[in-house]
Amino acid sequence: MNLRALFALVRKDLLHEYRSREIVIAMLVFAFLVMVIFNFALELNKTIRETVAVGVLWVTFVFAATLGLNRVFAAESDQTSLDGLLLAPIDRTIIFAAKFISTLIFVVLVQLIIVPLFSMFYSINLFDPLFLLTLFLGTVGYVIVGTLIAALALKSRSREILLPILLLPVSIPLMLAVVKAGKNILEGAEWALVRPGFSFVVAFDVIFIAVAIMTFDYLLED
Amino acid sequence: MKAPKSLTYLTYAAIIGFLVTLYMMFFYAPREVLMGEVQRIFYQHVAFGWWFSVAFAVTLLAGIMYLITRDLKWDRWAVAGAEVGIIFTLLNIASGSIWGKPAWNTWWTWDPRLTTATITLLLYIAYLMLRQSIESPTTRARFAAVYGIVSFISVPLTIFAIRIWRTIHPVVIGSGDPTAEGSFNMTQPMLITMLAHMALFGLIFAALLWHRYQLETEAAEVADLKTQLLLQS
């Protein structure tokens, strides 16, 4: 794999984001809004808050990440620079990997801010290393599928509407496992109870990395 | 373009097969002791459940074949599989719901089997929406094939993911979970009725699939003729 090309592409995305501040700020504000809305929509009190916290956290990230994923290929398609990218003598998989890595960085940046805030507002301690690892692996899975489907939705007429409709059903199994595992971890359950969910998340990541590598070439053919 | 002869025969066979299953369901199969008449819908329920999986497998395989051969014929099989699969999934869920009301005392529970069927339905509705939003036939076929692969993979994943919770859906074939509510022991005529339903619904499935494919082929031809006409004038 051509690491220099990968690095250059990621750097380009990060630089673009640094200058425009288009995606991360929007995701951040949106995530914060979802967090606030859930608090009132579910009429959370202390006990309910503890049982639904992991689920609410995940819904927050899923919605925020979907917002960001809508813009993953936006710069390329708006300025038609995707053609230029495709003309470059590099493997298509590298284009996918670069998009995946830069999107992952954006989402993780948002999480770095939202997780402490969430801990504070929902008065629940999320700083368990295993929980954070599960959170990260779940995010990896969601962003892989998300990047692949963002490329799928790119050519369609109603990209923004279609992306969540295509993406959410595919990621439901991931949500189920990651919420279950996360909840068990925070409740201090033993490893035997956490393991099924945790290994599922790892398996999901591996499977969809493979699927993405196998199918991404077909999406960028023209 | 006329439909092939064998399709006509298949259609008649499917109609006769359906009448046979109706007869078997209502008159041949015995009345189940505990649940009564409502249990009869089980035969259709199982047959729909079996054939919708086959339908989505058709979509997957046809999608892969399209990516390999680039022949739009495979894309037509893929869309046929997805549409017939959606109808069968809907009927599977509806018949299960009708059975569930007396057996479980609720139309719906978030049981793993029910959840999986619902998510499958959503995946293939999304598949059709993706198809609708892309104009160019070749791009559409290519993208739909990729989404067909992704959605087919996520069905077994959903099944694994929700196995973390216990199921109350009865397992009729093989040894079921003793905690499942509404299981029953099948007698010989019941088993025969079930197998007949599975086989004869295959005819209905094949006929619908083929008709849908035929329709799609004719639509493509009409589109071709339209372009030719526009080019001439």
Q: Which of residues 34-53 of B touch A (CB under 8 A)?
A: none
Nearest to B150 among A170, A177, A204 (CB): A170
Asked if B126 lies within 8 A of A156 by C-beta distance, the reply is no
Show residues of chain A in contact with B149, CB under 8 Å.
211, 215
pTM for this predicted structure: 0.88
pLDDT at B169: 60
pLDDT tens column, A59-87: 999 999 999 998 888 777 777 778 888 88
pLDDT at B167: 47
Tokens representing residue A104 in the block: 């992952």
Which of A152, A159, A222 to mutate against chain B (most B CBs within 10 Å)?
A: A152
Lowest mean pLDDT among A25-39, B92-106, B199-213: B92-106
pLDDT at B41: 86
Domain that includes residue A21, residue range: 3-219
Show residues of chain A in contact with B152, CB under 8 Å.
none
The residue-averaged pLDDT of B165-193 equals 63
The phi, psi pair for B36, rounded to 5°, reads 80, -150
Q: Which residues pair with B36 in a beta bridge?
A: B32
CA-to-CA distance for B46 and B170, rounded, in angstroms? 12
When comparing pLDDT for A202 and B29, which is higher?
Answer: A202
From the list A28, A29, A49, the residue with the least C-alpha distance to A40 is A49
**What 3-state class would DSSP assign to A69?**
helix
Residue A192 touches chain B, beta carbons under 8 Å? no
Which of B127, B154, B163 to mutate against chain A (most A CBs within 10 Å)?
A: B154
pLDDT at B175: 45
Show residues of chain A in contact with B158, CB under 8 Å.
172-173, 176
Is pLDDT above 50 for B114? yes
pLDDT at A170: 94
pLDDT tens column, A132-154: 999 999 999 999 999 999 988 88
Is pLDDT above 90 for A49? no
pLDDT at B54: 93
Predicted complex ipTM: 0.89
Is pLDDT above 70 for B170? no
Which of A179, A215, A220 to mutate against chain B (most B CBs within 10 Å)?
A: A215
Calculate what percentage of chain B has a pLDDT beyond 90: 52
Q: Say if residues A142 and A62 touch (Cβ distance below 8 Å).
A: yes
What total of structural domains would you count in chain A? 1
When comparing pLDDT for A1 and A171, which is higher?
Answer: A171
The residue-averaged pLDDT of A185-206 equals 89
> Of the segments A39-43, A160-164, B33-37, B168-172, which one has the largest average pLDDT value?
A160-164
Residue A194 touches chain B, beta carbons under 8 Å? no
Is pLDDT above 80 for A46? no
pLDDT tens column, A95-119: 899 999 999 999 999 999 999 999 9
Q: Which residues pair with B32 in a beta bridge?
A: B36
Is pLDDT above 60 for B177? no
Residue A212 touches chain B, beta carbons under 8 Å? no
